[in-house]
Chain A
Amino acid sequence: MTAGGGAMERIPILQMGEFLLVTIQVDLNDTLAQTLMDDLTAKVAATGARGVLIDISSVTVVDSFIGRMLNDIAATSRVLDATTVVVGMQPAVAITLVELGLSLGGVRTALNVDRGIALLRAALAAPADATHPE
């Protein structure tokens, strides 16, 4: 990784009760993506958050690197007992990801932030997770 200007940049992580909220509004470079993943993992561990919501409605490109980051965040959070939901993916991005061969099997999705929060609450209420086998 380059030690360039990326060190100053960070994507803010908001805490809302038991959930952590991230809104990605910039074109993610690799350094920023890696920093976000590190920050999120640290914060889930530090706060004991039970859910992570990542809003990508402003994101216009998800390539395999960013896709892998989303997968890894979900997998790491799961190990730390938190559910991850990615919300607001644009149709063009979804079509492209499918064509690319990336289905993000381990990541929950929702249409928008409201639905995402509802999904996280439902996951907390139903620990058996019967409705969404993975």
Chain B
Amino acid sequence: MPPIRSEVLELRATPDIVHVRQTVRARAAEMGFTLVDQTKLVTAASELARNAITYGGGGRVRIEALEEDTRRGLRLTFEDQGAGIANVEQALTDGYTTGNGLGLGLGGARRLVNEFSIHSRVGEGTRVTITRWM
């Protein structure tokens, strides 16, 4: 089913993370997500936006409002053209990091949403899609 609303934000530098958080918060609130659900989705978005900027050299995020027969949700797709991830399983493990973070970004984001998928090719980039249903 096609999204009922869609927009794209650029991810160039760390101040853009705040913009992503605020936009996702506004969309989730408009749709009527509970405060806890809003916070989970916004936090996941913050982690993935930072990943795309810090490790992916920047990219973009598509924010889509979904409406199916029995449920509504928000889908976020983060894309970068960075170095890619050689071992996705390892990257999803808590505590694993190549940078100076806590290594909770990917695995943590996965726990905060209902659906999580990641596609990465070394040298081509990474695409992470998350969905949270109401």
Contacts and interface: CB of A to CB of B under 8 A. Distances in A.
A22 interface: no
B: contact size bracket: 20 to 34
Contacts of A123: none
Contacts, number: 80
B43 A4 contact: no
B22 interface: yes
Contacts of A65: 46, 50, 101
Given A64-B101, A67-B102, A101 B108 contact: yes
Contacts of B15: 2, 4-6, 29-31
Q: Is the interface of B mostly helix, strand, loop or mixed?
A: helix
A92 B36 contact: yes
Interface stretch (A39-47, A55-63, A78-86, A105-113): A55-63
Interface in B8-24: 13-15, 17-18, 21-22
Interface string A80-110: 0000000000011101100111100000000
Given A27-B22, A64-B104, A64-B108, 12 more contacts: A29-B14, A31-B14, A60-B39, A60-B42, A63-B47, A95-B40, A99-B112, A100-B108, A100-B112, A101-B104, A102-B102, A102-B104
Interface of A: 1-2, 4-6, 27-31, 60-65, 67-68, 91-93, 95-96, 99-102
